[in-house]
A and B are shown apart, each in its own frame.
Chain A
Amino acid sequence: MATTATIDTTTKSRWGGGVAPMNASYGKLMMWFFLLSDAFSFSALLITYGLIRYAHPAYQGTVSEFTFSTEYWPIPEMVFEAVPFLHGVHAPLIFVGIMTFILILSSVTMVLAVEAGHRMDRKGVIKWMLWTIIGGLTFLACQAWEWSHFIHGTAEGTVNAMGETIFGANLTENQYGPPLFASLFFFITGFHGFHVFSGVVINFIIFFNAVVGTYEKRGHYEMVEKTGLYWHFVDLVWVFVFTLFYLI
Chain B
Amino acid sequence: MSQEETNNVQVIPEDKEKTKKIWKVAAILAIVTIIEFIFAFTLPRGIILVSIFLGLTIVKAFYIVAEFMHLKHEQKALIWSIMIPTILILWLVVALMVEGTAIFNIRN
- A residues apposed to B, CB below 8 Å: 2-3, 21-24, 29, 32-33, 36, 39-40, 43-44, 47-48, 50-57, 63, 75, 77, 92-93, 97, 100-101, 104-105, 107-108, 110-112, 115, 118-122, 124, 211, 213, 216, 228-229, 232-233, 235-236, 239-240, 242-243, 247-248
A24, A104, A108, A121: the one contacting B78 at CB < 8 Å is A24
Which chain A residue lies CB-closest to B105? A55
A118, A232, A240: the one contacting B69 at CB < 8 Å is A232
Q: How far is the CB of A9 from chain B (nearest CB, A)?
A: 10
The B interface, classified by DSSP as helix, strand, loop or mixed, is: helix
A92, B74: Cβ atoms closer than 8 Å: no
User: Which residues of B in the span 4-59 have a Cβ within 8 Å of any Cβ on A?
Assistant: 5-6, 9-14, 18-19, 22-23, 25-26, 29-30, 33, 36-37, 40-41, 45, 49-50, 53-54, 56-57
A100, A119, A236: the one contacting B64 at CB < 8 Å is A236
A248, B74: Cβ atoms closer than 8 Å: no
Which chain B residue lies CB-closest to A105? B26
A57, A235, A243: the one contacting B104 at CB < 8 Å is A57
> Given A43-B89, A101-B30, A108-B26: A51 and B96 within 8 A (CB)?
yes
> Given A54-B97, A239-B57: A233 and B92 within 8 A (CB)?
no
A213, B5: Cβ atoms closer than 8 Å: yes
B97, A122: Cβ atoms closer than 8 Å: no
Q: How large is the interface on B (under 10, 10 to 19, 20 to 34, 35 or more residues)?
A: 35 or more
User: Which residues of B in the span 64-108 have a Cβ within 8 Å of any Cβ on A?
Assistant: 64-65, 67-69, 74-75, 77-78, 81-82, 85-86, 88-89, 92-93, 96-97, 99-101, 103-104, 107-108
Cα distance A32–B85 in the bound complex, in angstroms: 12
Cα distance A101–B26 in the bound complex, in angstroms: 10
A29, B30: Cβ atoms closer than 8 Å: no
B11, B36, B57, B75: the one contacting A119 at CB < 8 Å is B11
**A/B interface sample: 29 pairs, CB < 8 A:** A22-B77, A22-B81, A32-B81, A40-B88, A40-B89, A47-B93, A51-B103, A54-B97, A57-B108, A63-B45, A93-B40, A97-B33, A101-B33, A105-B26, A108-B23, A108-B68, A110-B68, A111-B68, A112-B19, A115-B18, A120-B12, A213-B5, A216-B9, A232-B68, A243-B36, A243-B56, A243-B57, A247-B53, A248-B53
A92, B41: Cβ atoms closer than 8 Å: yes
Cα distance A77–B75 in the bound complex, in angstroms: 42
